[in-house]
Structure 1
Amino acid sequence: MMSIVAALLVPLMLAQTSAAPAGGATAERFAQCVALIDENPARAYEEGMAWAAEAQSMSAYRCAAMGLIAQNRFEEGARRLQSLASAVNPENTGLRVELWSQAGNAWLLAREPGQARSNFTRAITTMQSDPQQLPELLIDRSIAYAMEREWRLAEEDLSRSLDIRPENATALRLRAAARMNQRSFELAEADARAAIRLEPTNQENTLVLGDVLESIRTGAPYERP
Structure 2
Amino acid sequence: MTSIAALLLPFALLQAAETAPTTASSHVQQRFAQCVALIDSDAARAYEEGMAWAAEAQSVYAYRCAAMALVAQDRHDEGARRLDSLGMALNPVDTGLRAELFSQAGNAWLLAREPSRARASFTRAIAIMEADPTQLPDLLIDRSRAYAMEADWRHAEEDLSRVLDLRASDPLALRLRAAARMQQRAWDLAEADAQAAVTAEPGNVDNYLILGHVRESRRLGEPVMIQ
TM bracket, shorter-chain basis:
over 0.9
User: Tell me, which stretches of 5 or more residues in structure 1 are unaligned?
Assistant: none
**Counterpart Cα distance in 2 of 1:62 and 1:161:** 28
Within 5 Å, which residues of 2 pair with 1:125-204?
125-204=127-206
Q: Deviation at 1:223?
A: 1.5
Query: What root-mean-square deviation, in Å, do the aligned CA atoms of Structure 1 and Structure 2 show?
Result: 1.5
What is residue 3 of structure 2 aligned with on the other side?
none
Asked whether the 8 Å contact 1:5–1:69 carries over to 2, the reply is no
Q: Report the AA paired with residue 14 of structure 1.
A: E
User: Tell me, which stretches of 5 or more residues in structure 2 are unaligned?
Assistant: 1-8
1:88 to 90, 97, 110: 90
Asked whether the 8 Å contact 2:84–2:101 carries over to 1, the reply is yes
Cα gap change, 1:16/1:131 in structure 2, threshold over 3 Å: closer, same or farther? farther
> Please, which moves more after superposition, 135-144 or 200-209?
200-209
**Counterpart Cα distance in 1 of 2:12 and 2:99:** 18
Cα gap change, 1:197/1:16 in structure 2, threshold over 3 Å: closer, same or farther? farther
**Counterpart Cα distance in 1 of 2:169 and 2:214:** 20
**Counterpart Cα distance in 2 of 1:122 and 1:98:** 10
Per chain length, whose mean CA-contact separation is higher, i.e. which structure has more relative contact order (CA < 8 Å, sep 6+)?
2
After TM superposition, the runs of 4+ consecutive aligned structure 1 residues lying more than 6 A away are none
Asked whether the 8 Å contact 2:20–2:33 carries over to 1, the reply is no
What is residue 33 of structure 1 aligned with on the other side?
35
1:206 to 193, 205, 208: 208
1:7 to 12, 32, 52: 12
What is residue 17 of structure 1 aligned with on the other side?
21
Secondary structure of the 2:22 match is helix
Q: Deviation at 1:32?
A: 0.3
Cα gap change, 1:220/1:167 in structure 2, threshold over 3 Å: closer, same or farther? same
Structure with more of its chain in helix, by fraction: 1
Q: Give deviations 1:35-91, integer Å, cap 9, x for gaps.
A: 111111111111101111111110000000000000111000000000000011001
Cα gap change, 1:122/1:72 in structure 2, threshold over 3 Å: closer, same or farther? same
Corresponding pairs, count: 219
% same residue: 63
Within 5 Å, which residues of 2 pair with 1:105-120?
105-120=107-122
**Counterpart Cα distance in 2 of 1:5 and 1:178:** 15
TM (norm. structure 2) is 0.92
Q: Deviation at 1:199?
A: 1.9
Q: Deviation at 1:14?
A: 3.3
TM (norm. structure 1) is 0.93
